[in-house]
Amino acid sequence: MQVKELLERKYLQYNSAEFILTDPISIPHLFSQKEDREISGFIAATLAWGQRITIINNSLKIIDQMGESPFDFIMSFRERDLQSFEGFVHRTFNYTDLCTFFWALKNLYQLQGGMENIFVDGLKKGDMGTAIAHFRDVFFQIPHPKRTEKHLSNPLRGASAKRLNMFLRWMIRNDNRCVDFGVWQKISPSQLICPLDIHSGRVARKLGLLLRKQNDWKAAIELTNNLKLLDQKDPVKYDFALFGLGVFEKF
């Protein structure tokens, strides 16, 4: 009960408008259309490692060169339109990777029914890990360089898939607190897996919510299952608390 009271209090503290301003979720908050939020959020989540100000600035550079209308750009761009992105780099994610992501997104929306439907189809085959792996398979149906595959995690190979789980939280959760969007209504928040990184993992272990030492998919499942003991319907809401305690309070 003490752990739950702490996490509930910190969830309310960090699940707020003030949280948005310095977080990559501020990128999809620039838009109101579902597809714009999906695409801009997916890009921001893909870049979400390193300093947060750098993540936000590099995401904004991409959005600006997409004409500030991500969905329209993805649906209509041609090869020559990619020249303006030459020289882009965020850590190991470079121009080649970005162009591959653009072509993959075009395929998803033009031929596959959009991102949400792909995850829904994947969930029919199993759990969220299976759904992420299914999305990854569909995403890389197009011709692509092998190097780009490392930028989309595969839980079936043990990856914690922190950035994808964060993106899914943005799209699926909606607690009317104006942070997460809840634009995907075909998937329940109870099916989400808690994003797990070095910060949330450290806090979770100190609180006794996680015993596994590696920050991998098995650890993400263990953490989520323990969070379900605190809130069966919406366990991933505590991601706000774990992240806030780890990053802002050095818990």
Helix, strand, or coil here: 196?
Answer: coil
pLDDT at 250 over 90: no
Q: Which two tokens stand for residue 128?
A: 């969220």
Strand partners, 89: 94
pLDDT at 251 over 90: no
pLDDT at 126: 96
pLDDT at 68 over 90: no
Average pLDDT over residues 42-65: 97
pLDDT at 104 over 90: yes
pLDDT at 181: 97
Question: Rounded to whole angstroms, how far apart are CA atoms 124 and 111?
Answer: 20
pLDDT-based confidence at residue 209 (cuts at 50, 70, 90): very high
Contact 219, 177 (CB under 8 A): no
Q: What is the pLDDT of residues 113-165, one digit of tens each?
A: 999 999 999 999 999 999 999 999 999 999 999 999 999 999 999 999 999 99
pLDDT-based confidence at residue 227 (cuts at 50, 70, 90): very high
pLDDT-based confidence at residue 47 (cuts at 50, 70, 90): very high
pTM given for the model: 0.96
**Whole-number mean pLDDT of the chain?**
97
Question: Rounded to whole angstroms, how far apart are CA atoms 45 and 203?
Answer: 22
